[in-house]
Amino acid sequence: MSKKSNYSYVGIAFIILVFGIIVVPRIIDRVNQDDVTRDESRSKDVSTSIIEDKQKEQNKSDLLYLEINGAPKKVPAFSFTNQDGKTITNGDYLGKVYVVEFFFTTCPTICPIMNRNLVEVQNQFNGFENFGVASFTITPDIDTPEVLKAYYEQHNITNPNWNFLTGEEAAIYKLANEGFNLYTAKDASVEGGFEHSGNFALIDKEGFIRSRKDNFGNPMIFYNGLIPEAVGVDEDGIPQEITILKEEIMSAVNIEKEKQYNKWIIALAIIIPVVVAILSRVKLQDFGIEVEPFSFLPPIYASINALTAIVLIWAVIAIKNKNRNLHERLMKLAILLSLSFLVMYVAYHMTSDSTKFGGEGVIKYIYYFILFTHIVLSIVVIPFVLITYVRGITNNIERHRKIAKITFPLWLYVAVTGVVVYLMISPYYS
């Protein structure tokens, strides 16, 4: 193997490596941070909108932020006693997604319904260490830790991160009305002697209150806890929101799962093109391995590119028809086909000399434009494919859809132009 050849492939690999180290992490970071572009206001004092630039860069998800006076609402510091007599603070919930309610054990009306619904939510996330519930009593003089413990045991609570909390009455009411914007007050005229919100608040792992929009774009700050999931729609025509709450808890929880894959995504997005670049410039003959050129491979891997394009389009049609299982199988097939292409491409170039395009004039410039964009986008698309796949397997469906809208045209272009490049250069194969 000549020094010139050695320098050539090492240089190419180095360029790709530098490109990957600089660009790939930025692509992944940009993708992860550009998922929320929602804003609306609910009232003069409470709104849901995009958070400030600095915070927007750090705390993106598919959920909205509750804003107070233009700032994202974070759960204020609190410290109360749980059913086991243990002091629980807001710090104990950091790193966890959790639901908040205000209730009292002697409540004759809405509280039993709310807690049955929360038990259903709890059961949905059985085994999830980063999910919890905080239930604050509004009758702390009655709901002692012992009373809360009995209530805890009666309601089949199994989540170790579900705390029933009691403490100073004034602090609890301030937390409800000011901290979570969940109305709570004493009212002798209502049954039970207290009036309080039947809504749940959803808190992310950083301690921010989160919410969403309805199908019409209207802000929905909290989650109705009064209608069981099985009921669907109550007699007043109000739909249940427990299903939505479960979905958005799952989304918030799974975002953390997704982040765990980021290092692998970055590594693979850099390693794959570097390895392909190096191996494609290596000739087995230079190492004393006598092997006939794999001249039969170009039409095969060109056909694989064509098949990949067909599979991608088929997968999109499948998901539009709500056939998720078929979509998943097709996408796995598309990834397998792309990997097969890479193996064959490398094998061909390790046994055969590169073929130069023999066309002249305008066609030459068209060819090199297609080739250049094909090569560049084949590198760029790798992190997009990996991110899209990870969001799918971690069940971050909404985030998966968003990135897939970018991944699909990029991947399809790479697959189609792979075929075009082959058809244009095939007459010049020796």
pTM of structure: 0.58
Q: Per the structure block, which two tokens stand in for 197?
A: 């919100």
Instruction: At 242, list the tokens.
Output: 């427990």
Residues 22, 108 within the same domain: no
* Position 309 pLDDT exceeds 60: yes
Average pLDDT score over residue span 214-225: 80
Bigger pLDDT: 191 vs 171: 171
Pair of tokens at residue 206:
């950083």
Task: Choose the weakest-confidence range: 221-230, 243-252, 373-382.
Answer: 243-252
| Whether residues 26 and 48 fall in one domain | no
Question: How high is the pLDDT of residue 15?
Answer: 52
**Residue 230 sits in the same domain as residue 312:** no
Length of the chain (residues)? 430
Q: Report the pLDDT value the prediction gives residue 397, as an integer from 0 to 100.
A: 78
User: Same domain, yes or no, for 179 and 151?
Assistant: yes
- Evaluate whether residue 248 is within a structural domain: no
Cβ of 109: how many Cβ atoms within 10 Å? 13
- Of 40-44, 177-181, 297-301, least confident by mean pLDDT is 40-44
The reply to whether 256 falls in a domain is no
Residues 193 and 288 grouped into a single domain? no
Same-domain check for residues 88 and 229: yes
pLDDT given for residue 261 in this prediction: 81
- The residue that leads in pLDDT, 333 or 291, is 333
Residue where the block lists tokens 């006076």? 69
Q: Domain containing 11 — which CATH number?
A: 1.20.120
| Structural domain count, the chain | 2
Task: Please report which confidence band the pLDDT of residue 58 belongs to, taking 50, 70 and 90 as the band edges.
Answer: very low
Backbone angles phi, psi at 367, to 5 degrees: -60, -50
DSSP 181: -
Is 337 in the same domain as 352? yes
Query: Which stretch of 15-24, 268-277, 304-313 has the lowest confidence by average pLDDT?
Result: 15-24
Claim to verify: residue 287 and residue 372 sit in the same structural domain: yes
* Residue 245: inside a domain: no
29 shares its domain with 44: no
| Residue 65 three-state SS | strand
| Arithmetic mean of pLDDT, 13-25 | 53
Across 34-38, 213-217, 227-231, 257-261, least confident range: 34-38
Parallel, antiparallel, or unpaired for β 46-49 and 64-68? antiparallel
Asked if the model's pLDDT at residue 10 lies above 50, the reply is no
Check residue 254 and give its pLDDT: 72
Domain of residue 179 covers 40-240
Determine, yes or no, domain membership for 254.
no
pLDDT at 269: 83
Q: Is the pLDDT of residue 23 over 80?
A: no
- Do residues 86 and 171 share a domain? yes
Looking at the predicted structure, is the pLDDT value of residue 395 above 80?
Answer: no
Mean pLDDT of 207-217: 81
Residue 160 has a CB neighbour count (10 Å cut-off) of 8
In this prediction, residue 62 carries a pLDDT of: 55
Statement: residue 252 has pLDDT above 90: no
DSSP 8-state class, residue 74: B
Q: Are residues 381 and 326 in the same domain?
A: yes
* 84 has a pLDDT exceeding 90: yes
Q: In the predicted model, what is the mean pLDDT of residues 272-278?
A: 83
CATH number at residue 226: 3.40.30.10
Q: Is residue 16 part of a domain?
A: yes
pLDDT category of residue 40 using cuts at 50, 70 and 90: very low
Is 3's pLDDT higher than 50?
no
Neighbour tally for 71: CB within 10 Å: 12
Mean predicted lDDT score pLDDT of the chain = 84
In this predicted structure, the answer to whether residue 60 has a pLDDT above a threshold of 50 is no
Q: What percent of the chain has pLDDT over 70?
A: 84
pLDDT at residue 399 in the model: 80
Domain annotation covers residue 247: no
Query: Is 331's pLDDT higher than 50?
Result: yes
Statement to judge: residues 183 and 115 lie in one domain:
yes
pLDDT at 37 over 50: no
Which residue in this structure is represented by tokens 């992190």?
383
